[in-house]
With several copies, the nearest count.
Chain A
């Protein structure tokens, strides 16, 4: 995961660089929670441009972070989501609660 924090806008950018499944999700979750509690950002963006695979473990990761961030008074956005990932986020209703942008074809 690549982490970038913009102090000015209190914006935390978390770029996921792994496939997201049950095996990898525990680590992604732990790392994200550490960064969020460290910076207390106003807005968190998950960038999925380098995520080539995700199953329902990704739903748990996003929903869990969503609840935490909301509790801390912030918002969560999902960026560069591929069409395969979008299908899964839509099925779980996540796209209704988090602004989601699609990855452009290269």
Chain B
């Protein structure tokens, strides 16, 4: 089935940690038009959260900068580009290794890139020291048919607790 959607959005926000939740919810709401499963939405939210957090704590460290997200829908895929103009990564191969972190003192686990790579279908890192970092991720949503009701259901799950507290 060929998707009828071709769509694009751009999001920019200040590198404050309280924007992490807002950023992943926005991308998830945009992705909803592809009618992803609950698990696919969760994978996207987690990967976006990893990349946005990295821009905030590694890219900009304690300074204030702009995090930029570009999302594109092409066919049944969503492409998500998350970039900062922060300090950049010296050694990308090392950075991608599971458990490698430059901030163990912040209890970072070094699993961010590993999670993005495993939760998304493709991941690419581009970075120049002193200029900034861009992470591009792609996920194919494997769906047969999409209805507005399906999409309403997905939208209703975004940011929703799995069990109600009232």
Q: Which residues of B contact A59 (CB under 8 A)?
A: 109, 111
Beta-carbon contact of A60 and B109 below 8 Å: yes
Beta-carbon contact of A23 and B20 below 8 Å: yes
Beta-carbon contact of B21 and A21 below 8 Å: yes
Known interface pairs A55-B46, A56-B112, A64-B107; A22-B148 also in contact (CB < 8 Å): no
Known interface pairs A23-B21, A55-B46, A88-B46; A50-B107 also in contact (CB < 8 Å): no
Say whether B67 faces chain A, with CB atoms less than 8 Å apart. no
Beta-carbon contact of A55 and B50 below 8 Å: yes
Beta-carbon contact of B115 and A56 below 8 Å: yes
Beta-carbon contact of A52 and B156 below 8 Å: yes
26 sample A-B contacts, Cβ–Cβ < 8 Å, listed by A number: A17-B165, A18-B152, A19-B152, A22-B17, A22-B20, A22-B56, A23-B17, A23-B21, A23-B148, A24-B148, A29-B107, A49-B163, A54-B46, A56-B108, A56-B111, A56-B112, A59-B111, A60-B106, A60-B109, A64-B107, A84-B39, A84-B42, A88-B111, A91-B98, A92-B109, A106-B162
The listed residue with most B CB atoms (<10 A of its CB), out of A23, A54, A55, is: A55
Q: How far is the CB of A11 from chain B (nearest CB, A)?
A: 23
Q: Which residues of B contact A53 (CB under 8 A)?
A: 21, 24, 42, 45-46, 49
Taken residue by residue from 60 to 84, chain A's Cβ proximity to chain B (1 for < 8 Å, 0 otherwise) reads as 1101100000000000000000111
Residue of A nearest to B99 (CB): A92
Q: How far is the CB of A53 from chain B (nearest CB, A)?
A: 6
Beta-carbon contact of B148 and A18 below 8 Å: yes
Say whether A57 faces chain B, with CB atoms less than 8 Å apart. yes
Closest 9 CB pairs of A and B: A60-B107, A23-B17, A59-B109, A55-B49, A84-B42, A22-B53, A56-B111, A52-B161, A18-B152
Measured in the bound complex, the distance between the Cα atoms of B157 and A82 in whole Å is: 15
Beta-carbon contact of A52 and B160 below 8 Å: yes
Say whether B155 faces chain A, with CB atoms less than 8 Å apart. yes
Interface size, B (range): 35 or more
Beta-carbon contact of A91 and B118 below 8 Å: yes
Measured in the bound complex, the distance between the Cα atoms of B121 and A82 in whole Å is: 22
Say whether B77 faces chain A, with CB atoms less than 8 Å apart. no
Q: Which residues of B contact A82 (CB under 8 A)?
A: 162
Measured in the bound complex, the distance between the Cα atoms of B155 and A87 in whole Å is: 23
Residue of B nearest to A57 (CB): B53
Beta-carbon contact of A17 and B46 below 8 Å: no
Measured in the bound complex, the distance between the Cα atoms of B46 and A25 in whole Å is: 15
Measured in the bound complex, the distance between the Cα atoms of B101 and A60 in whole Å is: 11
